[in-house]
Structure 1
Amino acid sequence: MNIQAVQAIYRFEMARARRTLLQSVVSPVISTSLYFVVFGAAIGSRITQIEGVSYGAFIVPGLIMLMLLTQSVSNASFAIFFPKFSGTIYELLSAPVSYFEIVLGYVGAAATKTVILGLIILATASLFVPLRIEHPFWMLLFLVLTALTFSLLGFIIGIWADTFEKLQLVPLLIITPLTFLGGSFYSVNMLPPIWQTITLFNPVVYLVSGFRWSFYGISDVSVGASLVTILLFLGLCLGTVAWIFRTGYRIKP
């Protein structure tokens, strides 16, 4: 493996995050904190507890998951789209760097930025509500797996998109609605039976539920189902990335 090539891509992307600190870190933290304040104040006054957890603390894993999904996709998609848009990707493809090393550099940097951001938001949330993490290992595992998987998805979107508008299409029209409807701000058990059944077809439910279980030991679905879901999606994204580089889809003339 060309470690120097991976490090070069990784360091370049991390340096870009430092140059755009306001956009990369401050803005997501503020927007997530506003979600927490608005939902916690408006709804928390009417819902005291959910399964023994205060509403303010209950929504913290959901808010972190919302940020993880959107920021992972955004970071990775823009990182690969801009070289493709400017044409510099051909210099990278002609260099002695394998496809695996390219993906490792870009996706690794996007996942790292998202994990750091998630930990910052977790620390920020602890200033508002008393948090407890019953299973810290599983919390970090879900955090890393989710950031890695959706960074891969963002990489795929960045390759697929041919305009800046398309970069925002999937996050805005698919990922964000699925996250809001995936139990981020409520328990699935609070829904009528028919809607509980429909909601279980939303894959984000399994991500949010598993992540919340790592905090409070409560979940809407089994932890095993949550872990299998994220691993299956990770495998699907890896297979798609492999197909893109094998066929040259939208990266080779």
Structure 2
Amino acid sequence: MIVNHRAVASIYRFEMARAWRTVMQSVISPVLSTSLYFVVFGAAIGSRIQSIEGVQYGAYIVPGLIMLSLLTQSIANASFGIYFPRFAGTIYELLSAPVSFVEVVVAYVGAAATKSIIIGLIMLATAAMFVDLEIRHPVWMVAFLLLTAVTFSLFGFIIGIWADGFEKLQLVPLLIVTPLTFLGGAFYSIDMLPPFWRAVSLFNPVVYLVSGFRWSFFGQSDVSVGVSLAMTFLFLALCLAGVWWIFKTGYRLKA
């Protein structure tokens, strides 16, 4: 299969340029939000909760904060990136161009994942100004960062195809992903919950993402890192299958 590198690069550069045109919203806003989280959670709550499993509470919440931003930003970037051409009608030019659906997905998802990873790294640098951080497994930290960004950018791509209005672009991130992240151990260990609620939490897919990412920082996790990795790959496979089905059937692309 011959890949049209020029087409992929063109779409990728266009999507990245859009991020730099909205740098206040794309970069500065997440940094300010992170600082506020540390003021509220790190100072106010952290003064009452000294540590969790031997880790200072301010440092303990860093992986959860980054994961929260990574999920929401990946979905938002990818969903808006593909929805706007549908809204403006330029999607037909893309569909009629000599570009395969694989190249379209790689370009849009690659740009969305790149932007969310950059924001994640900026948040990590911001967090380091508030607390002492130790990353015990930096390679695995980067691996989880990449896998999560790509997976949820694919999920955002699906949402961008499914949505038939701007309000629906915010529906899944605000009403589903963000609550699941808060209830997925982003700011606490699920081992602190009663047995029944801990069992219920294991049905939350975000638990495995946060747990695996936190393990790469502190060597501690609520569930096995192998299970976390397997669940991430499972969701990635489901998203790839969803994107393949969309382009195979033309769902909401040609309507």
Query: Which of the five TM-score ranges fits, normalised by the shorter chain?
Result: over 0.9
1:1-253 matches, cutoff 5 A: 1-253=3-255
* Residue identity in the other structure for 1:225: V
Higher alpha-carbon deviation: 24-33 or 195-204: 24-33
Q: Quick one: distance in 1 between partners of 2:175 and 2:34?
A: 19
Deviations 1:95-151 (A, max 9, x none): 000000000000000000111110110001000000000000000000000000000
Distance of 1:35 and 1:57 partners within structure 2: 12
Counterpart contact for 2:66–2:120, Cα < 8 Å:
yes
1:221 is paired with a residue whose SS is: coil
Number of aligned residue pairs: 253
For residues 245 and 238 of structure 2, what CA distance do their matches in structure 1 show?
Answer: 11
State the percentage of identical aligned residues. Answer: 74
Runs of 4 or more above 2 Å deviation: none
Structure 2 letter corresponding to 1:58: Y
- Partners in 1 of 2:223 and 2:35 — Cα distance? 27
1:210–1:226: 8 Å Cα contact kept in structure 2? yes
| TM-score after normalising by structure 1 | 0.99
Displacement, 1:168? 0.2
Specify the SS of the correspondent of 1:225: helix
**Structure 1 residue 36: deviation in Å?**
2.0
Whole-angstrom CA distance in 2 between matches of 1:82 and 1:29: 26
The answer (yes or no) to whether the contact 2:34–2:127 under 8 Å persists in 1 is no
The residue identity in structure 2 corresponding to 1:53 is V
- C-alpha displacement at 1:28, in angstroms? 1.4
> Structure 2 unaligned runs (5+)?
none
Residue 79 of structure 2 contacts residue 158 of structure 2 at CA under 8 Å; is this kept in 1?
yes
